[in-house]
Amino acid sequence: MAVRKKGLASAELMTTVAVVAIVASFAIPNVMKTRMTANETSAVGNLRALMSAQTNYMNRYGVYADLNELLTERLIGVTLANGVKSGYRFGELDTGSRFTYCFFATPSDDGVDDGTEYCVTHAGTIYEADFDTSGMMVLGTNWTPGKDCVPEQFTAHPEDDRDVWTPISQ
């Protein structure tokens, strides 16, 4: 009686590795696309939360707030106030007035996931655009939300620049 060895022969092992590689080649891009879509949806939701917080602040004080003031009033959470959430950087553009605001969201790893940039203004419209923001400063300990990392293509009045900014919701 012959003794059978336990385990896989090299041909069986190579076939198994090839099958796993083929399955992974289909699965990984889908997982990455799903992650990007979830991050974009979260970014829009966070901009809506900022809009709501600004409405509450305006009703209380008669002016709009910056991220720190919204945090102090507990209208937004610490994570959003710190400027990084769900794969996006959040900040504010200086509009030159306490009666207007413009918050932005840029992918924190743009160039890797090809995410979409977003902004919202006091008019209540969320806009999207597709910029190359890969040259922006990499997040570090000295990053100030809204003060650093603002892409030059961002404007406090996206409604005046409709060839770049596309309204997606009101």
List pLDDT tens digits, range 90-148. Answer: 888 888 889 988 888 888 764 454 678 888 888 888 888 876 655 444 444 444 554 55
Distance between CA atoms of 81 and 85, rounded to whole angstroms?
9
Residue 125 has a pLDDT of 87
Distance between CA atoms of 106 and 148, rounded to whole angstroms?
12
Measure Cα distances from 73 to 18, 33, 104 in Å: 56, 36, 20
Residue 141 has a pLDDT of 41
Q: For the chain, percent helix, then strand, then coil, each to nearest 5?
A: 40, 15, 45
Assess whether pLDDT exceeds 70 at residue 73: yes
pLDDT band at 70 (very low <50, low <70, confident <90, very high): very high
Query: Could you give the strand order of the β-sheet that contains 84-85, starting from the edge strand earlier in sequence?
Result: 84-85, 88-92, 102-107, 117-121, 126-129, 166-169
Residue 151 has a pLDDT of 58
Residue 137 has a pLDDT of 43
Tell how strand 126-129 and strand 84-85 pair up.
unpaired
What are φ and ψ of residue 117, in 5° steps? -90, 150
